[in-house]
């Protein structure tokens, strides 16, 4: 039974946090929000995970350096519309300038400021607009400006993505809130996505990082839209301790209760990103059970969810089970083909590696829905994993063929 409660709230709901977003002219469209800020009343324990792409954008390098200094962050400044990636030393200086200016405005050390960017790669930031925008941010911090932060980090996203839960730790109410952006260039092992989580929990920095890394492997590293991994991806969590619970660490009696709530927030954000894939019409969930190991289950789930042939079949509502077992077969996992079974929703289509009779009409009707579940049993052990993705549509090509124009 869950000990946390899902509630309505924005990234600024946990005690001591404020957030906002404004327009500074980086994104197309007059008044489009493209510059955001999260700030805590006090320095917060911080942890982050970053893209695996070898081309890492300047803001990631600056943020990593800041967190490594004291494992604390008090403010986060984010721009969309320009990735500040592949921009050399100028890009590093621009990212530092963003952090330094926020530090000056709020009288906090510059190494307590994290910086993030998302958008077009290879273009220098128009720093006159960015700096002018940053100077306006303090005037836009209000009690109800948190949603503007979620809007300001979007690029091709159709909707803002937010999740909030609360639970009791040591009798104290603890809130965990998250928001993310991501729609295309999404692939396991971090993709063109930014995720931000805030909590007022008092938490040990090492436990916070371990929780983030563990949850990332189960959530953001298990989604795909199009197989591309970007240069700017980061998930950042801040815990400012204002809930006054006893410090959470691996020995705390409620450590797993906190982690379950934390995992839920990240999992829901990951699913929202997958569902909002560029041009997508359906959320696809692939559950692999009875693999020899959890890692084997993850590999198979990722192979199936990442298959363009599977994704297009789902779009076309075609119960083409052959594409699913094909992906299972090339996943790199040593399986026994004669033990594999596959189901689409509650309709089994493969048993023992061979097709079994099923209703094509019922399968088509099921695949026309907005959520498609594919379940695969390998019958080799206890390993299990879930991956999320979306269908691949004509609109995906339209969006990405004209992304810069």
**Could you tell me the pLDDT band of residue 282, with boundaries at 50, 70 and 90?**
confident
What is the Cα–Cα distance from 315 to 308, expressed in whole angstroms? 10
Q: What is the CATH number of domain 5-272?
A: 3.60.70.12
Query: Quick check: 288 and 176 in contact, CB under 8 A?
Result: no
CATH class entry, domain 283-401: alpha beta
Per-residue DSSP letter, 184: S
What is the Cα–Cα distance from 374 to 354, expressed in whole angstroms? 16
Answer yes or no: is pLDDT of 192 > 60. Answer: no
Answer yes or no: is pLDDT of 39 > 60. Answer: yes
Per-residue pLDDT reduced to its tens digit, 248-269: 999 999 999 999 999 999 999 9
How would you classify residue 173: left for phi > 0, otherwise alpha for psi between -120 and 50, otherwise beta?
Answer: beta
Question: Of 8-17, 40-49, 114-123, 206-215, where does mean pLDDT reach its minimum?
Answer: 114-123
Find all residues with CB under 8 Å of 111, minimum gap 6, and list them: 65, 66, 69, 70
pLDDT of res. 186: 43
Please count the other Cβ atoms lying within 10 Å of the Cβ belonging to residue 34: 29
What is the Cα–Cα distance from 199 to 238, expressed in whole angstroms? 6
Per-residue pLDDT reduced to its tens digit, 152-188: 999 877 788 999 999 999 999 999 999 999 754 444 4
**Could you tell me the pLDDT band of residue 228, with boundaries at 50, 70 and 90?**
very low
pLDDT of res. 54: 62
What is the Cα–Cα distance from 182 to 275, expressed in whole angstroms? 10
Catalytic residue numbers, as ranges: 192
* The residue to which tokens 């004209």 are assigned: 402
- Of 185 and 276, the one with more pLDDT: 276
Using DSSP, state whether 244 is helix, strand or coil. Answer: coil
What is the Cα–Cα distance from 66 to 376, expressed in whole angstroms? 43
Residue-wise DSSP of 31-88: T---EEEEEEEEEEEEEEEE---SS--HHHHHHHHHHHHHSEEEEEEEEEEE---S-H
Alpha-carbon distance values, 386 to 211, 238, 281 (Å): 18, 27, 20
Query: Quick check: 171 and 209 in contact, CB under 8 A?
Result: no
Find all residues with CB under 8 Å of 258, minimum gap 6, and list them: 167, 169, 174, 201, 203, 211, 248, 252
pTM, entire model: 0.82
Query: Quick check: 384 and 292 in contact, CB under 8 A?
Result: no
Share of the chain above pLDDT 70, in %: 92
Answer yes or no: is pLDDT of 227 > 50. Answer: no
Residue-wise DSSP of 191-211: -S-EEEEEE---B-HHHHHHH
pLDDT of res. 148: 97
What is the Cα–Cα distance from 109 to 113, expressed in whole angstroms? 7
Q: Give bridge partners of residue 287 from the DSSP assignment.
A: 375, 386
What residues does each domain of the chain span?
A: 5-272, 283-401
Alpha-carbon distance values, 98 to 117, 127, 133 (Å): 11, 9, 10
């Amino acid at each position: 039974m869950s000990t946390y409660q899902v509630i309505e709230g924005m990234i600024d709901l946990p005690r001591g946090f404020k957030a906002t977003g404004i327009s500074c002219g980086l994104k197309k469209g007059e008044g489009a929000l493209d510059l955001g800020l999260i700030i805590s009343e006090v320095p917060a324990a911080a942890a982050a995970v970053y893209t695996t792409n070898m081309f890492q954008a300047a803001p990631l390098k600056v943020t990593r350096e800041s967190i490594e200094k004291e494992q604390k962050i008090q403010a986060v400044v984010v721009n969309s519309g320009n990735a500040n990636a592949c921009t050399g030393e100028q890009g590093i200086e621009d990212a530092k300038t963003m952090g330094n200016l926020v530090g000056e405005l709020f009288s906090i050390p510059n190494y307590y400021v994290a910086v993030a960017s998302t958008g077009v790669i290879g273009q220098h930031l128009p720093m006159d607009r960015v700096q002018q925008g940053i100077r306006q941010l303090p005037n836009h911090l209000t009690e109800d400006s948190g949603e503007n932060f979620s809007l300001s980090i979007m690029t091709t996203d159709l909707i803002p993505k937010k999740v909030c839960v609360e639970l009791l730790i040591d009798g104290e109410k603890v809130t965990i809130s998250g928001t993310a952006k991501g729609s295309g260039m999404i692939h396991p092992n971090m993709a063109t996505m930014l995720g931000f989580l805030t909590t007022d929990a008092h938490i040990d920095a090492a436990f916070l990082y371990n929780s983030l890394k563990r949850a990332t492997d189960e959530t953001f590293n298990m989604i795909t839209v199009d197989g591309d991994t970007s240069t700017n991806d980061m998930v950042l969590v801040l815990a400012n301790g204002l809930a006054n619970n006893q410090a959470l660490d691996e020995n705390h009696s409620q450590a797993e209760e906190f982690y379950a709530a934390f995992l839920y927030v990240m999992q829901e954000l990951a699913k929202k990103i997958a569902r909002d894939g560029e041009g997508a019409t359906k959320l696809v969930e692939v559950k692999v059970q009875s693999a020899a190991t959890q890692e084997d289950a993850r590999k198979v789930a990722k192979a199936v969810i990442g298959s363009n042939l599977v994704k297009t079949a789902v779009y076309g509502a075609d119960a083409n089970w052959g594409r699913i077992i094909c992906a299972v077969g090339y996943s790199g996992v040593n399986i026994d083909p004669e033990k594999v079974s596959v189901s689409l929703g509650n309709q089994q289509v493969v048993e023992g590696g061979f097709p079994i009779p099923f209703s094509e009409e019922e399968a088509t009707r099921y695949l026309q829905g907005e959520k498609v579940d594919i379940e695969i049993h390998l019958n080799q052990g206890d390993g299990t994993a879930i991956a999320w993705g979306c269908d691949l549509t004509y609109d995906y090509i339209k969006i990405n063929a004209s992304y810069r124009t």
